[in-house]
Amino acid sequence: MTSRYPIPPNEIELTAVRAQGAGGQNVNKVSSAIHLRFDVQASSLPEVLKMRLLALSDHRLTRDGVVIIKAQEHRTQEMNRAAALARLDELIESVSVTRKPRVATRPTRASNLRRLDGKAKRSEIKSGRGRVDD
């Protein structure tokens, strides 16, 4: 499953269902779509990842902390299963990345002087546009 966080197959519930939409006779009789259910709280993921997953405001996450993914873009059940697992992997990877905190910096004195000098020049140009008094 995931390269950094392997998930045992018994923690993922995969159900084959009939796909929605157009497709004719085949789509009406073959269960090729996959419903993937993954209970975050009951999983073996590290606690930090569980908390981040549960804090997500994602439409795939239920109030009970279950991730539901439906894959139906492929014609075969195997390809849809792989697509659903890949999407779960992508979701877990997205919360596993920690962003570096931004280091607050101040502008240098020289850059501040350049900015003020530019403002003064612009002000001089604009003041020259006004009416000239004799």
Contacts of 43 (CB under 8 A, 6+ apart): 7, 11, 50
* Domains, the chain: 9-96 (3.30.160.20)
As a whole number of angstroms, the distance between CA 108 and CA 113 comes to 9
Q: Burial, 27: exposed, middle or buried (Cβ in 10 Å; 0-12, 13-18, 19+)?
A: middle
- pLDDT tens-digit profile, the chain (134 residues): 556 788 888 889 999 998 887 777 777 788 889 999 999 888 888 888 889 888 888 888 888 889 999 998 888 899 999 999 999 999 988 888 888 999 999 999 999 999 999 999 999 999 989 887 76
pTM: 0.69
pLDDT of the residue at 126: 93
